[in-house]
Amino acid sequence: MKVLVSDNLSATGVEILKKESGLEVDVKTGLPKDELIKIIPAYDGLIVRSATKVVAEIIEAADNLKVIGRAGIGVDNIDLDAAGKKGIIVMNAPEGNIITTAEHTMALLLAMSRNIPQARSSLKNKKWAPKEFMGVELYEKTLGIIGLGRIGSIVSERARAFQMKIIVYDPYISQERAEKLGVELVELKDLLGRSDFLTLHTPGLAGKPLLGKKEFEQMKPGIRIVNCARGSLIDDAALIEAVESKIVAGASLDVYHKEPLDLDSPLLQVEEIICTPHLGASTGEAQEKVATAICDQIIDYLKHGNVRNAVNVPSIDAETLAKIKPYLVLGEDLGNFISQLTDGPVTRVEIQYNGEVSNINVEPVTIAILKGLFNRSLEGINMVNAPFVAKERGIEVQESKSNEVHEYTSTVQVSVTSKNISRQVTGSIFGKGDSRIVQFDDYHMEAVLSKNMIVLQNMDVPGVIGNLGNILGKNNLNIAGFHLGRQAKESKAIAIINIDPPPTNETLRDLRDTSNILSVHSVTL
Ligand code: NAD
Ligand code: MLT
């Protein structure tokens, strides 16, 4: 297997990859897009930081690529949709650089409050002018934090040590978490109006600025702003205007709309704005941590199939995987089974988890069901692209859970609606991991799921099973299992028959021509 490292990665990470047996590693940094498109088909794994823009054209060409690893947090340089559709897992290393970035935020807060970069430039220009650089204290000032995730939380702890009052806007954070961190949760407008300092720690929010003209107008005059998150969160023109109109006393930016920053950018002309060239994660310690983490994750996935810190597929740790593995197999088999008994394009899939299974994270099981549903009709379907394919085809997927236990401790029920009909199959796990169908449409049974099966509906009258046995015998088909579900009301029955080789077209035709047999399907898992 081959892995390409296309950005500067700490040597420790590259060494980890090189030491792994069965893995070939190439480090080729600064490649132009066309060059990357040319060489990418040879690789199973790609590791980037932020310089490589993994755009759709590169992903399109990546015929063997299974995983893209980002040595860092933000994955905005990777086309996640294109990767998802192609079935490529994208993972990041979200923990390794958070302390470093929080420290850079504190460094910028302090540098800005004491005009350190400006004072240094003045001295370099041979000017001793202490009066020009009167600063402000952080002590007892209000710090507004937008986004109280990993980095925002560390910043809040550090700022508390400076005895700042911390207020937070983050609509996804609970009151409990805020109280634990000793911060006050407020609305955005309130935060803007009360903050002496403001720092941003959200994701890029799909390029939509959080701070534009309207927000600057709501700010407390004299506010100082730090952005170590993503450049797209601030409307630059509105920021410059707010500095000129003295609403904003200072700003410290580490990230920009377009990177590298245009060196003629008006941001660099404003004395009150200090800029660093995306240095948030740039410490030896952080780079070593993210490189080590992403290389370990890539090896774990390519060699053992373990998914950690994936951003486009649910991550499953080893303990959870052991618990849900039988359900992943059952789910995929149920999807595969029902897809072969449904005609026309599927429009809706309903999945109902009942009993104990409803207490585990069933998201991967739902994906396995979708994968099974498309297995026979689509080349290259996998756990990453299955939800994309369902969405692309306009298939409505509904999942529900109930912890009520009926006849079986756990069941997974899949109902599929296609153009004209709805079909339903319910499965359960027996013993240590045997998948069984316990209900098919209205018929109860306990059918073993095997590689080759015949699913047959017949009138529940004497002689049918005898005829059936004769036809299979005549066609040299060994019956490995026979499971019958009966429905007294309509005098009909369904049989799921496990057979060794798959039936030939002739066998199927003979069965269909037999009296009292209503439908015959061959199902292969
Ligand atoms: P995180 O996912 O742990 O936290 C993000 C927080 O933002 C979450 O608590 C979320 O609830 C909140 N949030 C989401 N949308 C919001 C909205 N509209 N308004 C308010 N809050 C919202 O992320 P993190 O690891 O703390 O990283 C934060 C940012 O820092 C990311 O953009 C990341 O890419 C960036 N980053 C930059 C550098 C750098 O070198 N400058 C280094 C590391 C990370
Ligand atoms: C990140 O998202 O991790 C940062 O932007 C740091 C980096 O560029 O690696």
Q: For the residues of 390-412, what is the DSSP string, one character each?
A: HHHTT-EEEEEEE----SSSEEE
CB 281 near ligand 1, within 6 Å: yes
Q: Which atom of ligand 2 is nearest to the CA of 71?
A: 9
Q: Is 506 exposed, middle or buried (0-12, 13-18, 19+ CB in 10 A)?
A: exposed
Residues in the chain: 525
Please compute the mean of the pLDDT values over residues 488-493 and round it to a whole number.
84
Average pLDDT of span 66-73: 96
Between CA 457 and CA 516 the distance in angstroms is 9
Q: Which atom of ligand 1 is nearest to the CA of 173?
A: 11
Q: Are residues 102 and 7 in the same domain?
A: no
* C-beta of residue 521 within 8 angstroms of C-beta of residue 341: yes
Q: Is residue 407 part of a domain?
A: yes
Residue 310: inside a domain? no
Instruction: Residue 69: give the domain boundaries.
Output: 2-95+285-304
171 within a domain of the structure (yes/no): yes
Q: What is the pLDDT of residues 282-339, one digit of tens each?
A: 999 999 999 999 999 999 999 988 888 888 887 777 677 778 889 999 999 999 999 9
pLDDT band at 220 (very low <50, low <70, confident <90, very high): very high
d(C-alpha 104, C-alpha 286), whole Å? 12
Q: At 463, is the pLDDT very low, low, confident or very high (cuts 50, 70, 90)? A: confident
> Average pLDDT of 253-281?
97
Nearest residue (by CA) to ligand 1, atom 34, is: 74
Contact 465/524 with Cβ under 8 angstroms? no
CA of residue 230 to ligand 1 center, whole Å: 8
Residues 47 and 89: beta-carbon distance below 8 Å: no
Q: Using alpha carbons, select from 297, 317, 287 the residue that is nearest to residue 17.
A: 297
Question: Hey, whose CA ends up nearest to atom 14 of ligand 1?
Answer: 202
Same domain for 189 and 207: yes
Q: What is the pLDDT of residue 53?
A: 96
Does the CB atom of residue 186 touch ligand 1 within 6 A?
no
Same domain, 343 and 222: no
**pLDDT at residue 376 tops 70:** yes
The alpha-carbon radius of gyration of the chain (Å, integer) is 30
Q: How confident is the model at residue 164 (pLDDT cuts 50, 70, 90)?
A: very high
* Mean pLDDT taken over the chain: 94
Tokens of 114: 């004491």
pLDDT, tens only, 76-119: 999 998 998 888 999 999 999 999 999 999 999 999 999 999 99
Residue 232 domain-assigned? yes
Q: Average pLDDT for residues 473-493, to the nearest whole number? A: 88
User: What is the edge-to-edge ordering of all strands in the sheet holding 422-430?
Assistant: 396-402, 346-355, 410-418, 422-430, 434-440, 443-448
Same domain, 62 and 121: no
Catalytic residue among 49, 104, 230, 436: 230
How remote is the CA of residue 51 from the centroid of ligand 2, in Å? 10
Task: Let me know: does 472 contact 507? Beta carbons within 8 Å.
Answer: yes
Which residues fall within 8 angstroms of residue 314, CB to CB, at 6 or more apart?
A: 307, 361, 363, 364, 367
C-beta of residue 220 within 8 angstroms of C-beta of residue 244: no
Nearest CA to ligand 2 atom 8: 50
pLDDT above 90 covers a percentage of the chain that reads: 80
Quote the number of domains for the chain. Answer: 3
Regarding whether 397 and 255 lie in a shared domain, the answer is: no
Annotated catalytic residue 278: yes
φ, ψ (nearest 5 deg) of residue 304: -125, -5
Contact 525, 337 (CB under 8 A): yes
Q: Which residues line ligand 2 (CB under 6 A)?
A: 49-50, 72-74, 97, 278, 280-281
- For residue 291 the two structure tokens come to 């490189």
Residue 492 main-chain phi, psi, to 5 deg: -120, 160
Residue 268 lies in a domain: yes
Q: Are 186 and 229 members of one domain? A: yes
Same domain, 370 and 451: yes
In terms of domains, do 36 and 124 share one?
Answer: no
Report how far apart, in Å, the C-alpha atoms of 43 and of each of 68, 79, 80, 137, 435 are.
10, 18, 18, 53, 36
Whether residue 275 has its Cβ less than 6 Å from ligand 1: no
Dist. CA 93 → ligand 2 center (Å): 10
Q: Which atom number of ligand 2 is nearest to the Cα of residue 49?
A: 9
Return the ligand 2 atom nearest residue 50 CA.
8
Beta bridge partners of 46: 4, 68
Q: What is the pLDDT of residue 377?
A: 80
Ligand closest to CA 155: 1
Give yes or no for a contact between 448 and 382, defined as CB atoms under 8 angstroms apart. no
CATH number at residue 357: 3.30.1330.90
| pLDDT digit string, tens, across residues 150-160 | 999 999 999 99
Dihedrals phi, psi of 138, to nearest 5 degrees: -85, -30
The pLDDT assigned to 211 comes to 98
Question: Which one of the listed residues 278, 332, 436, 483 is annotated catalytic?
Answer: 278
Mark whether 81 and 142 lie in a shared domain: no
Q: List all residues 6 or more positions away from 304 whose beta carbon is below 8 Å from its beta carbon.
A: none
14 and 46 both lie in a single domain: yes
At residue 520, the pLDDT reads 94
CA 322, 328, 332: angle at the middle one, nearest 5?
Answer: 160
Is 168 contained in some domain? yes
Phi, then psi, of 450 in degrees rounded to 5 = -130, 175
Q: Which of 187, 259, 285, 490 is catalytic?
A: 259
Q: Nearest to residue 171, comparing CAs of 154, 152, 187? A: 187
Q: Mean pLDDT over residues 389-393, rounded?
A: 88
Within-domain flag for 392: yes
Q: What is the pLDDT of residue 318?
A: 67
CA 77, CA 45: separation in Å to the nearest integer? 16
Q: Give the CA distances from residue 372 to residues 6, 122, 316, 367, 453, in Å, rounded to whole numbers and listed in that order.
A: 35, 67, 19, 9, 16
Average pLDDT over every residue of 41-63:
97
Residues 195 and 256 in one domain: yes
Does residue 341 sit in the same domain as residue 469?
Answer: yes
Which CATH number characterizes residue 245's domain?
3.40.50.720
Per the domain annotation, does 280 fall within a domain? no
